[in-house]
Amino acid sequence: MFDPATLVFTFFTAQCAGTVALTAVWFINRQVPGIGCWVLARAVLGLGLLLFLLRIEIPLAASALISTSLVLLGHFLAIAGSRRFMERPQLPLRWIVLFFAVYLPVLGYFASVHPDSAIRHIVVSVALAGVSFLNVWSLWPDRDSVVRVSPRVMAGIYAFTGLLYVGRAGYQFSALAGHPLIDPTTDIVLVMLEGTAASVLIASTYITMVTEHLQADLRQQAETDPLTGLFNRRAFDRLAQRDVQTARRHHDPTFLLFLDLDRFKSVNDRFGHLAGDRVIVGLAETITACIRDTDLSARFGGEEFAVLLPRTSLDSAKTVAERIRQSLESKTFEGEGVAFSVTISIGMAALDGGQDDLSGLMRRADRALYSAKEAGRNQVVIAPRPVESGQQVA
């Protein structure tokens, strides 16, 4: 029904078509990490398939060793690309060297010294299953991964491929026992059909991964302050609204800090805007160093910043605010060849779970910040709770 040579050629054609499409995407989006490795991986895989097509013209031992080694090398290049894409450390080179140091002598022995097609197919299948599962491990996103959906799809494709190769190794064991479950021609047909389908799916999923990565980059640019790397006001409002709703639902103590540099205009006037930018970045770094990963920080614009502290007691929130204030005060900046320091005023408000929302929390933190400025700057002022709104701010 299926001619093995035709299926191998179809597999090769699909591999080449996918490589061309992925190469075009790479030329347009070279900033996406890993895509260059994927292009090279598919080219090497295609070369391995070409040598497999020429197996009649090449001695069996050379065909088995070279073509399958190129295919495996292509898989390792794909793994390298996947790990770059997912921002993970590369596999140690000694692992790959050790892999081929074991694989090549074993396969060569059963291809030339003691020819045995069943054992040879088992060795190749186990090797291909191993690199497929390595790709699954490299692609599966963790909690902090920005791109999450398409890597899971790709990991699923590689997991299915790995399981098929495990099954192929299994039914080749039956051939060793003298009761083959599948004849050699059917074996080649199944492998080529799976390979062709996987080649098309992998190429299209690579392109989907690139698209998702670009969308994540655009989303990050839209929600990130370019100078400090903190969230901007738009992102803060969205994420803080979520955290406040969660805090109200679980009655978690939550505090909002509004921070504003004191007399920042005079810094720009006296020392220049580059020095002012260094102060802004220094404050952002100070905030990041003083809060937890679960806290939320943002630059609202100019010299104004905000920090949301979910699941935080009053004493802990005071400690964080004072640590930020004191740490910034102790920093030294330089502008126009002159060293200088800056101070910051902080307004702090607690979420009242019964009747408060984000806008009310922001209004009270803003009033507390104004009180800190009026009281002489370089201090932390805590806003009264809503039930105490008739009282004067201390």
Catalytic residues: 303
Give per-residue burial for 72-86: e unless 16+ CB within 10 Å, then b.
bbbbbbbbbbbbbbb
SS3 of 352, please? Answer: coil
Which long-range contacts link 264-272 to residues 24+ away (Cβ below 8 Å)? 264/302, 264/303, 264/342, 267/335, 267/340, 267/342, 270/335, 270/336, 270/340, 271/333, 271/335, 271/336, 271/338, 271/340, 272/335, 272/336
Is residue 334 classed exposed, middle or buried when 0-12, 13-18 and 19+ CB atoms within 10 A define those classes?
A: exposed
Query: Beta 304-309 vs 338-340: how paired, if at all?
Result: unpaired
| Residue pair 235/223 in contact by the 8 Å Cβ criterion | yes
C-alpha torsion sign, points 280, 282, 287, 292 = positive
What does each C-alpha distance from 80 to 74, 77, 134, 298 come to in angstroms?
10, 5, 10, 35
CA angle 198, 200, 204 (to 5 degrees): 115
Q: Where are the beta strands (DSSP E) in the chain?
A: 255-261, 296-301, 304-309, 333-335, 338-340, 344-350, 380-382
Cα(205)–Cα(195) distance, integer angstroms: 15
Please, which residues have CB within 8 angstroms of residue 109's CB and are 6 or more apart in sequence? none
Is residue 124 classed exposed, middle or buried when 0-12, 13-18 and 19+ CB atoms within 10 A define those classes?
A: buried
Please, which residues have CB within 8 angstroms of residue 227's CB and are 6 or more apart in sequence? 277, 280, 281, 284, 299
C-alpha torsion sign, points 320, 325, 330, 335 = positive
C-alpha torsion sign, points 17, 18, 24, 26 = negative
